[in-house]
Amino acid sequence: MGFRKKGVKHFFPAPILAGEDLSIRAVGIEEWMQPCLVHRPEGTGDWLLMVFHHDVKLADGWHSPPVVMLWEPGMGHYYGNDREPWSHSWIHCCGQRVAELRKQLGLVLNRPLPLVSAHAWIHGLRNLYDELTLMHPPDPLIVHHYFEILLHELARAVGTRPRDVVPPPALMRVKQMIEADPASSCSLGELAKLAGCSAPHLCNRFKHYFGVSPME
């Protein structure tokens, strides 16, 4: 039997306007993909918010679900799973309101953020999708409100503090080595070599993600 898992994938013939500062171009809900990696060096020219429901390979390595990515217009995309079928939910959107909400809620760009649960976000995305597809025409005010709720749900699920951001795999290797043998005599230079960066850069990035330097 062939690959049957589908989910929702809907690109609108023209962007659906939700006021002067927001439009929705496309929505996907638990869309299944065959094993593959998606690479768009220049992005898609709009905002893309994507939640992954299975293990996913991103630009900095593999991540466990649920995890979310937010790409701004013109930012390159790299994601997928070339080992097994996988699914994701997403929304393509445009407008100044997206940038304003992103900044207001402290959502980090182009960096994987772990979700405690994707359930509420998927529920909100379905509400938005139903308004866009079942109502003729969709009410711009309702679409606008559903979209704002969607981003607020996301911010609540991931938090906006640096410690909620997923550290790069190289930093996790350093952290795991330190935790495995706290009394180790590894020098800062050796840890930096493991991370593939300079010692000052390692100290700065390590403190950014974990709140302490690697030698503390």
Domains of the chain: 8-160 (2.60.120.280), 169-210 (1.10.10)
DSSP one-letter string for 86-137: EEEEEEEEESHHHHHHHHHHTPPSSS-EE-S-SHHHHHHHHHHHHHHHHSSS
Question: Does position 101 have pLDDT exceeding 50, yes or no?
Answer: yes
pLDDT band at 3 (very low <50, low <70, confident <90, very high): low
> What are the pLDDT digits (tens) for 180-216?
777 677 888 888 888 888 887 787 677 666 667 787 7
Question: Does position 150 have pLDDT exceeding 80, yes or no?
Answer: yes
Count H helices, E strands: the chain? Answer: 6, 10
